[in-house]
């Protein structure tokens, strides 16, 4: 008589699936760094302007013109790459604070179908990312694709997962792209 459980039989497959997702995310990071070493200059004003924030309000990227901007893309249910990227943003926030500088931190959702304003609002609250200079944004699928392409973010959907690289970009107060971080944990590469 068999006394094992179905869950025990699925555990190795789940572990293999998680390992595959981690490998694909690492591959996406390496591929993005190699594929976009010299993106054409992008200005903040070149990006899609109209988004919704985590409270469902309209957010216009042009509203942060005149301030330094740190921008990344993420999705709320990511358990591997995004937490590291968000920790890097928090470290950057601390660096700005120590130097007495202010910047707007913008996180654009990769997956507008799953990461609606309510999901981002919950994400912010549970991670204590409630400062008023942090903005979690949702856009149309077309705008998400466009901003990703313009800034060199590589991503694709596989089942319910979003496979993506880790990239943080920084704009100066004039809206010019001045720095890119193409891998989690690395410092910015100045343009």
In contact, 188 and 181? CB cutoff 8 Å: yes
Residues in a beta bridge with 57: none
Residue at token pair 């704009």: 171
Neighbouring residues of 106: CB distance < 8 A, sequence distance ≥ 6: 61, 64, 69, 70, 71, 72, 135, 137
Q: What is the mean pLDDT of residues 117-125?
A: 95
Where is average pLDDT lowest: 63-67, 87-91, 182-186?
182-186
How confident is the model at residue 7, as a pLDDT?
Answer: 52
What domains appear along the chain, each with residue ranges and CATH number? 6-190 (3.40.30.10)
Q: What is the mean pLDDT of residues 27-37?
A: 38
Computed over every residue of the chain, the mean pLDDT equals: 78
How confident is the model at residue 120, as a pLDDT?
Answer: 94
pLDDT digits (tens, 9 = 90+) for 33-85: 333 445 567 899 999 999 999 999 999 999 999 999 999 998 887 777 778 88
Residue 189 has pLDDT above 50, yes or no: no
Residue at token pair 């193409």: 182
Residue ranges with strand state E in 80-187: 103-109, 134-137, 155-158, 161-164, 168-171, 177-181
| Highest mean predicted confidence (pLDDT) among 6-10, 25-29, 69-73, 158-162 | 69-73
């Amino acid at each position: 008589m068999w006394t094992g459980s179905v869950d025990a039989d699925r555990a190795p497959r789940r572990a293999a699936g998680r390992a595959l997702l981690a490998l694909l995310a690492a591959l996406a990071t390496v591929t993005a760094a190699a594929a976009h070493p010299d993106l054409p200059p992008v200005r903040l004003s070149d990006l899609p302007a109209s988004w919704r924030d985590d409270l469902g309000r309209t957010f216009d990227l042009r509203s942060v013109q005149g301030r330094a901007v740190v921008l990344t893309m993420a999705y709320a249910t990511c358990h591997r790459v995004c937490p590291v990227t968000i920790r890097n943003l928090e470290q950057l926030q601390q660096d700005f604070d120590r130097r007495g500088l202010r910047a707007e931190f913008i996180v654009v959702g990769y997956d507008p179908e799953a990461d609606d304003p309510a999901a981002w609002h919950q994400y912010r609250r549970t991670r204590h990312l409630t400062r008023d200079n942090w903005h979690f944004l949702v856009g149309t699928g077309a705008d998400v694709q466009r901003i990703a392409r313009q800034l060199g973010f590589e991503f694709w959907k596989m089942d319910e997962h979003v496979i993506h690289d880790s990239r943080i970009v920084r704009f100066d107060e004039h809206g010019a792209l001045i720095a890119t971080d193409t891998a989690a944990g690395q410092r910015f590469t100045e343009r």
